[in-house]
Amino acid sequence: MFGIGFPELILIFAVALIVVGPGKLPDLARALGRGLAEFRKATGDLKETFEQDETVREIKKEFHSAQSQLLLEQGTRDKGFEKTGKAAASPPREPSGEGTAQTPGATPTPQRSPGATVAERSDETIEEPPASDPPAEKQ
């Protein structure tokens, strides 16, 4: 580590024993161990902070790259509009569920006519027409 071998450690221990005395040496060793543990914890937290900072930088870089790519594509479409006077053809979109959010892996919900209610009995589905007037409230 620092070029300190076993003979050097024995010399340091002997000097500490003479200077501090045998009564206080265990307390000194305990305090030194706690200080070393606190130092290791602080350096670990610092390393973690640097790693998080690096991750944030990478995410920002990807975001700016995607943003500039989108702006480039938008600029290309705008130039096509200026030259022809017509909007550039956009890529075809996949049909959506008309405002219904689908969870990946979920079975799609069947499309129903507006206002129809569905009563399910065993395996069959029955569509009922909407009621003309809602029931009157009783007071």
pTM of the full predicted structure? 0.37
Indicate whether 95 belongs to any domain: no
In a domain, 57, yes or no: yes
Residues spanned by the domain of 73 = 8-82
In a domain, 97, yes or no: no
Count of the separate structural domains present in the chain:
1
Q: Cβ distance 58 to 50 under 8 Å?
A: no
Neighbours of 20 (CB within 10 A): 14
Q: Identify whether 68 is part of a domain.
A: yes
Side-chain-side CA neighbours of 25 within 13 Å: the count stands at: 12
Tokens standing for residue 35: 């200080």
Q: What is the pLDDT of residues 21-80, one digit of tens each?
A: 889 988 988 999 999 999 999 999 999 999 999 999 999 999 999 999 999 888 877 776
C-alpha span between 15 and 64 (Å, rounded): 60
The more confident residue out of 104 and 22 is 22
